[in-house]
């Protein structure tokens, strides 16, 4: 085996094993998220007492990589990405000794959390907007950090010391659910909806083509008012 071939074989062995470990660890934690979502719904249903029947509150397990939490007028989509990512070099976590001492710690799986209107799914309004409100980075050693909106913009930033556990997952579920419920639907600008085609009008009763979202034109990193 020549030098180049040996280098390639070594890379395949080291990187493949590393990414497999990260991936299967992410699968494990995503399944914990699923379990805790069911437990949280059961707990909330009990706490709501007689109001539970009047509030949409349910779990839809779509696949190994997606689970949906319907809560009130919202649906939160928990989606596990099937790829493994290396945290970008310009991310603040690279300043940590945890990564400087072992660059492999920068490889993470990601769980994304999106917020849609529940009616967007119920009525199959494929043009409606959803918003990425949080994403969770988890490495092979269960260290994690979170990017997000609301309270999750400020907590869970200590990649060096934070280790994921069930209590953290419950806290994240409660925080994103509270954020979604409190994030109100607002009317879009008049000039965005003032022109409607005949086709849109004919189909609106069965499958609305008028785009609906809590904020129109939302961009996750740029929208400073979306807190």
pLDDT along the chain (227 residues), means of 10: 79 87 98 96 87 84 96 94 94 92 96 92 82 94 94 93 97 95 74 70 57 49 44
Is the residue at 221 inside a domain?
Answer: no
Q: Let me know if residue 117 belongs to a domain.
A: yes
Cα 99 to Cα 40, 109, 137, distances in angstroms: 34, 16, 14
Angle in degrees, 0-180, between the axes of helices 166-182 and 3-48, rounded to the nearest 10: 60
On whether residue 89 sits in a domain, the answer given is yes
27: containing domain:
3-203
> Does a structural domain hold residue 72?
yes
Is 65 inside any structural domain?
Answer: yes
Residue 213 placed within a domain: no
Q: What pLDDT, on a 0 to 100 scale, did the predictor assign at position 212?
A: 62
- Is residue 97 a part of any domain in this protein? yes
pTM: 0.82
Domains in the chain, number: 1
Assigned domain for 152 exists: yes
């Amino acid at each position: 085996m020549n030098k180049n071939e040996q280098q390639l074989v070594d890379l395949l062995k080291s990187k493949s094993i590393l990414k497999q470990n990260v991936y299967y660890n992410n699968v494990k934690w995503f399944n914990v998220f699923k379990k805790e979502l069911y437990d949280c719904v059961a707990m909330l249903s009990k706490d709501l007492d007689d109001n539970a029947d009047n509030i949409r509150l349910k779990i839809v397990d779509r696949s190994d990589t997606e689970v949906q939490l319907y809560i009130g007028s919202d649906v939160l989509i928990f989606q596990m990405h099937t790829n493994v990512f290396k945290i970008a070099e310009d991310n603040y976590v690279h300043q940590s000794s945890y990564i400087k001492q072992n660059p492999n710690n920068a490889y993470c799986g990601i769980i994304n959390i999106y917020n849609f209107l529940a009616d967007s799914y119920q009525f199959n309004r494929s043009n409606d907007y959803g918003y990425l409100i949080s994403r969770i980075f988890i490495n092979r050693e269960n260290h994690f950090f979170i990017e997000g909106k609301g309270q999750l913009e400020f907590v869970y930033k200590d990649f060096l010391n934070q280790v994921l556990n069930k209590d953290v997952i419950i806290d994240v579920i409660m925080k994103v659910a509270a954020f979604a419920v409190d994030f109100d639907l607002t009317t879009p600008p008049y000039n965005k909806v003032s022109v409607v085609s005949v086709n849109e009008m004919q189909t609106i009763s069965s499958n609305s083509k008028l785009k609906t979202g809590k904020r129109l034109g939302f961009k996750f990193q740029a929208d400073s008012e979306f807190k």
